[in-house]
Structure 1
């Protein structure tokens, strides 16, 4: 029986997606990426799922892209290399954007090394919970590449431009404590309680209105690029939707009943 490259478990409204290629430190192959996209699309549309936790099996979170796959791509005819690479990038960006734009809270439970694409994927989540065994490295430079999984966008927003340049230009690895100090990780957990803490945090974040969460997250994700006027305008439209939601009506009636 073939083992799934991405394991999905759902309990009490929380979906846990586990990168499941431990013998390769969960390096992302084309087949693995396709499975991840399929699961993320399903989770995004499942109203019974309120939040998502992304983690890795074995000792690593994700070692990045599969280097053996890079070798096969280089062996393609010269006239096809660029277009093949462009096509692959569309799939990479689709997977990362599904995490980033997921209309519900997402937490990366980083259980070990997160390198290259693995580090980018962690930052595409709303929050990063790092195990004491975790490490982070934007090691693309060591393969003659630039961050292609969102690191050029996400990392400066977490650590500032100069620190992002330092991490990307050097490709150096930082441990969990340093990552927390820099703002890469939001919280550190003991390794043996990492998933329990991630699920508990996910439950806490997703306890409120799913409608308000989805709309608020969508606007917050654009708040560094848009003007205050544009954010206010989007907020007004979103609030109009919230006014019509079942969650808003139930919350107001519950408050008024308590006040009687």
Structure 2
């Protein structure tokens, strides 16, 4: 894939690790964003992947943008305001768009600091599990800038407007216990158990037909901005498609035969 995202496969489950631990998995270079886009394009074609775990190498999930590069006005932080706007739109914002459009269910295993853009990336995932010692922060204002990766749009939808305002306007970090209380994550675990649990959830998702979980995810994503009649029309179309898949037929036969199903992703 590249030198930033490390990819492992275990059957229908893919684990993707942001792999620059010495740099706290910071994202600044266009090539890093391009790897996410390429991954999304690959998964749009590969129906054999039914669930994905996203995590970070080392002690951080992702520390966001490289602050040293900001100070030196290097990379995406160089040039005129127009240049920087173009960089944002064509690099880091493509990560959020890719994860948002991805139909494969994604679990963020937050193993350490998820700061700024790193936190926004977790918000674009479908569910989040978090290590006991990890923290998250929508910390842009601490650097005199604003959320640029999509967090200002999604965070209120995840934790509500009041708590999203507290996180966004103070930039203060939120620990794992608070994140669990707020519904930002579904589980908090010891650090040495985190990835194992994330993969357990992924395999539980992958135990169902991929077309069903992908379309169910799409229904939920689109439903966030749809009126109910529009949503029900989309659900009816997806349900009709589901009834005509080989995996639906296999699921029914396996249920009635009281055996484990064998899906072909068709």
| TM-score of the aligned structures, taking structure 2 as reference length | 0.89
Q: Which residue of 2 aligns with 1:16?
A: 15
SS where residue 61 of structure 1 aligns? strand
Q: Does 1:115 align with 2:119?
A: no
Inter-partner Cα distance in structure 2 for 1:255 and 1:185: 32
Q: Which residue of 1 aligns with 2:262?
A: none
Relative to structure 1, the CA distance from residue 187 to residue 142 in structure 2 (aligned partners, 3 Å threshold; closer, same or farther) is same
Inter-partner Cα distance in structure 2 for 1:50 and 1:35: 20
Q: Which residue of 1 aligns with 2:220?
A: 220
Relative to structure 1, the CA distance from residue 252 to residue 75 in structure 2 (aligned partners, 3 Å threshold; closer, same or farther) is closer
SS where residue 221 of structure 1 aligns? helix
Residues 161-204 of structure 1, C-alpha deviations (whole Å, 9 max, x = no match): 01101110000001111111111111111101111111111011
Inter-partner Cα distance in structure 1 for 2:199 and 2:117: 23
Q: Does 1:7 align with 2:9?
A: no
Q: CA deviation at 1:84?
A: 3.8
SS where residue 108 of structure 2 aligns? strand
Inter-partner Cα distance in structure 2 for 1:37 and 1:69: 23
Inter-partner Cα distance in structure 2 for 1:252 and 1:56: 38
5+ residue gaps, structure 2: 259-266
Inter-partner Cα distance in structure 1 for 2:195 and 2:230: 38
Q: CA deviation at 1:235?
A: 0.4
Inter-partner Cα distance in structure 1 for 2:243 and 2:26: 44
Tell me the number of residue pairs that the alignment of Structure 1 and Structure 2 aligns.
253
Runs of 4+ in 1 over 6 A off after TM superposition: none
Give the 5 Å matches for 1:1-260: 4-30=3-29, 31-70=31-70, 71-72=73-74, 73-76=76-79, 78=80, 81-257=81-257
Contact 2:205 2:213 in 1 (8 A): no
Inter-partner Cα distance in structure 1 for 2:77 and 2:12: 43
SS where residue 163 of structure 1 aligns? helix
Inter-partner Cα distance in structure 1 for 2:143 and 2:190: 32
Inter-partner Cα distance in structure 2 for 1:87 and 1:26: 19
Q: CA deviation at 1:75?
A: 4.1
Inter-partner Cα distance in structure 1 for 2:5 and 2:122: 16
SS where residue 15 of structure 2 aligns? strand
Relative to structure 1, the CA distance from residue 13 to residue 251 in structure 2 (aligned partners, 3 Å threshold; closer, same or farther) is closer
SS where residue 96 of structure 1 aligns? helix
Inter-partner Cα distance in structure 2 for 1:35 and 1:255: 40
Contact 1:89 1:148 in 2 (8 A): no
Q: CA deviation at 1:252?
A: 2.5
Q: CA deviation at 1:133?
A: 1.6
Q: CA deviation at 1:257?
A: 4.8
| TM-score of the aligned structures, taking structure 1 as reference length | 0.91
Inter-partner Cα distance in structure 1 for 2:35 and 2:168: 28
Inter-partner Cα distance in structure 1 for 2:32 and 2:87: 16
Contact 1:137 1:167 in 2 (8 A): yes
Relative to structure 1, the CA distance from residue 189 to residue 34 in structure 2 (aligned partners, 3 Å threshold; closer, same or farther) is same
